[in-house]
Amino acid sequence: MSETILTTNNIVLNEKFDHKEEAVRFVGSLLHKQGYVEEEYIGQMLEREEVTSTYMGNYVAIPHGTEDGKKSVKETGITIVTAPDGVDFGEGNIVKLLIGIAGKGDEHLEVLSQIALVCSEEENIDKILQADSKEDILAIFEEVN
């Protein structure tokens, strides 16, 4: 994954969330703070969760906006948030790793394929959740590139 999309500024370790909405808002606000999206994108991320959960299995969720939300995307970006205590994404699905994405045009497809490569290996998810530093997480994502 290119250094420009994922940097230590986009990674937050050991967050705690009481519920899914709080977690999705946090991830969205990170994307907004880093200049990837307009503030409206956060609402479109919450809308996406109402339509279909972004829970992917293996304690991973990939919150992102609706198709309509694309017009709120300034540039492709990704954020990574670990929540070791987990947050319930409904139906007993516990999420400990949140990967927020915003894709300009079709760029999100490339980002998603790289995320899928990392997250398809359970050991990578364990490494991310146990990482002591943001640099450790960057290294895991760079290994698959």
CATH of the domain at 133: 3.40.930.10
Establish if 1 belongs to a structural domain. no
- Report the pLDDT value the prediction gives residue 2, as an integer from 0 to 100: 42
- The pLDDT score that the predictor gives to residue 145 is 61
Q: Which residue has the tokens 């899928």?
A: 116
Q: Which domain holds residue 114?
A: 8-143
Tens-place pLDDT, residues 63-113: 999 999 999 999 999 999 999 999 999 999 999 999 999 998 888 788 888
Active-site residue set: 64
| pTM for this model (two decimals) | 0.93
Q: Note whether residue 3 is domain-resident.
A: no
Number of domains in the chain: 1
Classify residue 53: in a domain, yes or no: yes
